[in-house]
């Protein structure tokens, strides 16, 4: 049973600052739970390091809101001295000697890393079933997927194994598992958080973000992760801001848009109903809700396939058995490459690299890749237009609730279609937030997707927090007693 880990960060902070509990108490509870968990949410746990850190923190400055709070890190983010596998045989034994930028931030804020979370191999997938280490499970129903690619992170937070997890999102990989697991997940504006130390999948799409139980916690964590990094040329140079600052403000007068495509027939009717009832709630509270069209939303999957697979085919070329990672026995360079990559990568990754390589070869680069970048620009411009008139755009995060493990594994396209509603945000570099808004008839969580204009995360948290308070859902998974 949870003693502390079901509490909010604010509640934990009060307990820690008052001295009623020590960081070590939280760490011990986290390990007690995760060691007995059958969610398969972690690839690597680091108990010794976490306990040592908890002790070190006892006499440290406690002013940070995140002081002493355990956090789980997606296993594609480099952690010094802790192996970072990307859920791949290729990096099964890879140990970085430098922390990612966000890990420095996590440490500066006084958080305690408890382990590295399971995910789709190299973040390629929507179910976390492509993991070399087996799929993590959905705490709401362990026969179901946690979503992906940040499935382990979502599972950790929903399963109350740690109050915070970091995920990464290339085409929905934070928001979609957050939706499936009934938690809050933010993919910030592209450039908000440095990507240095995040093992690249699609460089122009990737973004790290926080996954938490509630909106306020999420904003607090985001506060600690942002900041300019001169070693990531796409990192934003903006001044620091407090993302919690608008939380609690009245939503009266807010202008909300819902793209028609987001409530079209591709979306499960129960989910659609939930989203539309949220729209009613917003109107009742003085916001306006309009239904609009955004260009090319229906082409999101095609764009994603071309851009993400193209970039990935190039980003993953460095895994060649020469400088790090898995290396197959071989007598020639050609054999070294072909065997290392055949044996080191799983089938989803290989398929994407092959298709990506094909899309960039010869004249294809122009026909597919350049064209996709033009469509991408057009989509971005259409979003820009919408944000001239509206504060926020909302819709469902996913077209269905979390489905059963193993389902649809024979269709290589399904995994892309799962992310149809969340991909456009990555294409345009916008921030996107998932918040839980209800359950379907099987009591599986349903998520709302809130899209903001670039760098307007604070506004999204304001709306998200308002809805969260109004709905006042019971989002606690019934815990099993391990005693």
Span interacting with other proteins, options 213-221, 247-255, 293-301, 394-402, rule CB under 8 A: 293-301
Q: Which is nearer to other proteins, 254 or 308 (CB)?
A: 308
Per CB under 8 A, does 292 bind other proteins? no
Q: How far, in Å, are 171, 226, 353, 419, 458 from residue 149 at the CA level?
A: 9, 22, 17, 11, 25
Using CB under 8 A as the binding rule, whether residue 91 contacts other proteins is answered as: yes
The only residue of 313, 400, 453, 465 in contact with other proteins, by rule CB under 8 A: 313
Residues whose CB falls within 8 Å of the CB of residue 460, separated by 6 or more in sequence, listed in order: 186, 392, 431, 433, 450, 451, 452
Residue 191 lies near other proteins (rule: CB under 8 A): yes
- From 88, 126, 173, 382, the catalytic residue: 173
Footprint on residues 370-389 left by other proteins (CB under 8 A): 370-378, 380-381
- Contact (CB, 8 A) for 146 and 129: no
Q: Footprint of other proteins on residues 47-66 (CB under 8 A)?
A: none
Q: Which residues neighbour 112 within 8 Å (Cβ) at sequence distance 6 or greater?
A: 23, 26, 27, 50, 53, 54, 57, 68, 69, 70, 71
**Least distance (Å) between residue 451 CB and other proteins:** 13
Q: Least Å distance between CB 374 and other proteins?
A: 4
Catalytic residue among 126, 128, 131, 149: 149
Between CA 388 and CA 385 the distance in angstroms is 5
Task: Determine, following the binding rule CB under 8 A, whether residue 369 of this chain makes contact with other proteins.
Answer: yes
231 and 264 in contact (C-beta within 8 Å)?
no
Neighbours of 351 (CB within 10 A): 14
Q: Site for other proteins (CB under 8 A): which residue of 280, 338, 406, 409?
A: 338
How many angstroms separate the CA atoms of 153 and 167, rounded? 6
403 binds other proteins (CB under 8 A): no
Among 152, 197, 210, 424, binds other proteins (CB under 8 A): 197
Chain positions 234 to 263 lying near other proteins, rule: CB under 8 A, are 234, 236-237
The one among 60, 354, 385, 469 contacting other proteins by CB under 8 A: 354
DSSP 7-61: S-HHHHHHHHHTTSS-HHHHHHHHHHHHHT--S--EEEE-HHHHHHHHHHHTTS-
Task: Check if 149 is active-site.
Answer: yes
Does residue 129 interact with other proteins by CB under 8 A?
Answer: no
- Give the strands of the sheet with 164-168, arranged side by side: 42-45, 112-117, 70-74, 164-168, 208-212, 184-187, 432-439, 445-452, 392-396, 255-259, 288-292
Q: Are strands 137-138 and 208-212 parallel, antiparallel or unpaired?
A: unpaired
Window contacting other proteins (CB under 8 A); options: 16-24, 37-45, 65-73, 199-207? 199-207
- Which two tokens mark 142? 């362990």
Task: Out of 8, 107, 327, 440, point to the residue binding other proteins (CB under 8 A).
Answer: 327
Nearest distance from residue 460's CB to other proteins, in Å?
17
182 touches other proteins (CB under 8 A) = no
Tokens of 424: 């456009």
Q: Taking contact as CB under 8 A, which single stretch among the options 178-186, 248-256, 339-347, 469-477 is the one that binds other proteins?
A: 339-347
Check binding of 308 to other proteins (CB under 8 A). no
Nearest residue (CB) to other proteins, 175 versus 380: 380
Q: What is the DSSP string of 225-287?
A: H----TTSTT---PPP--TTTTTT---TT-EEEEEGGGGSTTS-HHHHHHHHHHHHHHHHTT-
CA distances to 246, 304, 359, 379 from 311, in Å:
37, 10, 10, 19
Query: Annotated catalytic, 187?
Result: no
Residue written as token pair 């996913």: 398
Smallest gap from residue 63 Cβ to other proteins (A): 30
Query: Is the backbone peptide bond immediately before 455 cis, with ω within 30 degrees of 0?
Result: no
Regarding 22 and contact with other proteins (CB under 8 A), the answer is no
17, 21, 95, 471: which one contacts other proteins (CB under 8 A)?
Answer: 95
Name which of 85 and 155 has its Cβ closer to other proteins: 85
Nearest approach, Cβ of residue 149 and other proteins (Å): 16
Instruction: Identify whether 52 is a catalytic site residue.
Output: no
**Does residue number 435 form part of the binding site for other proteins (CB under 8 A)?**
no
Angle at 479 between CA 406 and CA 483, to 5 degrees: 115
Taking residues 133 to 152 in sequence order and writing x for each that binds other proteins by CB under 8 A, - otherwise, the string is --------------------
Applying CB under 8 A, does 409 fall inside the site for other proteins?
Answer: no
Active site residues: 74, 149, 173
């Amino acid at each position: 049973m949870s003693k502390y880990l079901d509490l909010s960060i604010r509640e934990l902070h009060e307990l820690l600052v008052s001295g009623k509990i020590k960081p070590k108490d939280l760490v011990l509870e986290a390990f007690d739970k995760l060691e007995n968990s059958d969610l398969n949410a972690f690839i690597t746990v680091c108990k010794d390091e976490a306990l040592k850190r908890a002790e070190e923190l006892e006499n440290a400055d406690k002013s940070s809101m995140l002081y002493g709070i355990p956090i789980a890190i997606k296993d594609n983010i480099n952690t010094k001295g802790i192996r970072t596998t990307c859920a791949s045989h290729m990096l099964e034994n890879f140990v970085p000697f430098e922390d990612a930028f966000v890990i420095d931030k996590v440490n500066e804020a006084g958080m305690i890393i408890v382990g590295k979370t399971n995910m789709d191999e190299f973040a390629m997938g929507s179910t976390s079933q492509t993991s070399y280490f087996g799929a993590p499970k959905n705490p709401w129903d362990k026969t179901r997927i946690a979503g992906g690619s940040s499935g382990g992170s979502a599972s950790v937070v929903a399963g109350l194994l740690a109050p915070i997890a970091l995920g990464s999102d290339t085409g929905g990989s934070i928001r979609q598992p957050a939706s499936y697991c009934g938690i809050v997940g933010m993919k910030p504006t592209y450039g908000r958080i440095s990507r240095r130390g995040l093992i690249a999948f699609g460089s122009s799409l990737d973004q790290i973000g926080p996954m938490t139980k509630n909106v306020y916690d999420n904003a607090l964590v985001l506060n600690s992760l942002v900041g300019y990094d001169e070693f990531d040329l796409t990192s934003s140079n903006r001044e620091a801001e407090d993302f919690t600052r608008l939380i609690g403000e009245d939503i009266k007068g807010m202008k909300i848009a819902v793209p028609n495509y987001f409530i079209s027939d591709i979306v499960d009717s129960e989910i659609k109903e939930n989203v539309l009832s949220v729209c009613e709630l917003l109107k009742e509270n003085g916001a306006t809700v309009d239904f609009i069209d955004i260009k090319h939303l229906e082409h999101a999957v095609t764009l994603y396939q071309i851009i993400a697979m193209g970039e990935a085919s190039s980003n993953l070329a460095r895994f060649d058995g020469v400088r790090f990672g898995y290396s197959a026995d071989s007598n020639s360079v050609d054999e070294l490459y072909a065997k290392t990559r055949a044996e080191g990568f799983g089938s989803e990754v290989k398929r994407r690299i092959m298709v990506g390589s094909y899309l960039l070869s010869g004249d294809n680069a122009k026909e597919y890749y350049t064209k996709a970048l033009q469509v991408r620009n057009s989509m971005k411009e259409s979003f820009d237009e919408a944000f001239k008139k509206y504060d926020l755009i909302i819709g469902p995060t996913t077209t269905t609730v979390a489905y059963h493990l193993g389902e649809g594994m024979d269709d290589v396209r399904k995994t892309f279609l799962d992310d149809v509603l969340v991909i456009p945000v990555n294409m345009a570099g916008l921030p996107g937030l998932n918040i839980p808004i209800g359950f379907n008839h099987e009591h599986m969580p349903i998520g709302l997707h809130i899209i903001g204009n670039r760098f307007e995360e604070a506004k999204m948290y304001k709306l998200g927090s308002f809805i969260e308070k109004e709905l006042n859902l019971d989002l606690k998974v019934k815990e099993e007693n391990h005693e």
